[in-house]
Amino acid sequence: MALQFVLIGGARVNERRFEEDIRVEGHIIDSLILPRVFDAIMDMGGDFDVEEIRVGRSKKEPSYARLKVFADNEERLARIITTLQDFGVDLVSAGDARTVASPRDGVLPEGFYSTTNLPTQVRLHGVWVDVADTEMDLVIVVDWEQSRARSVPIDEVRAGDQVVVGHEGVRVIPLQRERQREEFSFMQSNVSSERSKKIAIAAIAAEMRDCREQGEKIVFVVGPAVIHTGAGVYLSALIHHGYVQALLGGNAICTHDVESVLFGTSLGLSLTDGTPVAGGHQNHMRAINAIRRAGNLKQAVAQGVLTRGVMYECVTNGVDLVLAGSIRDDGPMPDVITDVVVAQKEMRRAVRGAGLVVMVSTMLHSIAVGNLLPATVRVAVVDINPAVVTKLADRGSFQAVGLVTDAELFLRQLCDELGVTYPERAAEPSAEPGAV
Q: Site residues for its own copies, window 166-185 (CB under 8 A)? A: 177, 179, 181, 183
DSSP readout, 394-408? HSSS-EEEEEES-HH
Q: Which is nearer to its own copies, 127 or 435 (CB)?
A: 435
Determine the Cα–Cα distance for residues 125 and 145; give it in Å rounded to an integer. Answer: 10
Determine the Cα–Cα distance for residues 257 and 255; give it in Å rounded to an integer. Answer: 5
Q: Which is nearer to its own copies, 139 or 216 (CB)?
A: 139
Taking CB under 8 A as the binding criterion, the range among 14-22, 93-101, 125-133, 227-235 that sits at the site for its own copies is 227-235
Q: Considering the complex, what minimum distance in angstroms separates the CB of residue 137 from its own copies?
A: 5
Q: Site residues for its own copies, window 390-429 (CB under 8 A)? A: 390, 404-406, 408-410, 412-413
Does residue 436 interact with its own copies by CB under 8 A?
Answer: yes
Does residue 278 interact with its own copies by CB under 8 A?
Answer: yes
Binder among 127, 132, 159, 341 for its own copies (CB under 8 A): 341
3-state secondary structure of 326: coil
Binder among 23, 68, 79, 298 for its own copies (CB under 8 A): 79
Binder among 95, 155, 302, 353 for its own copies (CB under 8 A): 155
Binder among 147, 189, 193, 307 for its own copies (CB under 8 A): 193
Among the listed residues 404, 334, 340, the one whose alpha carbon sits nearest the alpha carbon of residue 372? 340
Does residue 53 interact with its own copies by CB under 8 A?
Answer: yes
> CB–CB of 406/360 below 8 Å?
no
Binder among 274, 302, 353, 421 for its own copies (CB under 8 A): 274
Taking CB under 8 A as the binding criterion, the range among 125-133, 237-245, 310-318, 326-334 that sits at the site for its own copies is 326-334
Give the H or E element holding residue 289.
Answer: helix 283-294
Burial 171-185 (b: 16+ CB within 10 A, else e): bbbbbeeeeeeeebb
Q: Which is nearer to its own copies, 200 or 319 (CB)?
A: 200
Determine the Cα–Cα distance for residues 76 and 380; give it in Å rounded to an integer. Answer: 39
Does residue 64 interact with its own copies by CB under 8 A?
Answer: no
Taking CB under 8 A as the binding criterion, the range among 122-130, 237-245, 310-318, 319-327 that sits at the site for its own copies is 319-327
Binder among 156, 285, 316, 427 for its own copies (CB under 8 A): 285
Q: Which is nearer to its own copies, 224 or 355 (CB)?
A: 224
Q: Site residues for its own copies, window 8-27 (CB under 8 A)? A: 8-10
Determine the Cα–Cα distance for residues 355 and 210; give it in Å rounded to an integer. Answer: 9
Q: Site residues for its own copies, window 114-133 (CB under 8 A)? A: 114
Among the listed residues 242, 397, 263, 371, the one whose alpha carbon sits nearest the alpha carbon of residue 314? 242
Site string for its own copies, 24-43 (x = CB under 8 A): -----xxxx-xx--xx--xx
Q: Considering the complex, what minimum distance in angstroms separates the CB of residue 85 from its own copies?
A: 10
Determine the Cα–Cα distance for residues 123 and 119; give it in Å rounded to an integer. Answer: 14
Site string for its own copies, 342-381 (x = CB under 8 A): -xx--x---------------xxx-xx--x----------
Rounded (10°) angle between helices 197-213 and 407-418: 50
Does residue 189 interact with its own copies by CB under 8 A?
Answer: no
Binder among 142, 164, 271, 393 for its own copies (CB under 8 A): 271
Phi-psi region of 379 (alpha: psi -120 to 50; beta: other; left: phi over 0): beta
> CB–CB of 171/88 below 8 Å?
yes
Determine the Cα–Cα distance for residues 351 and 364; give it in Å rounded to an integer. Answer: 16
Give the other-Cβ count within 10 Å of 129's Cβ.
19
Among the listed residues 341, 337, 76, 373, the one whose alpha carbon sits nearest the alpha carbon of residue 84? 76
Q: Considering the complex, what minimum distance in angstroms separates the CB of residue 104 from its own copies?
A: 8
- Alpha helix stretches (DSSP H) within 21-130: 33-43, 74-85
Does residue 160 interact with its own copies by CB under 8 A?
Answer: no
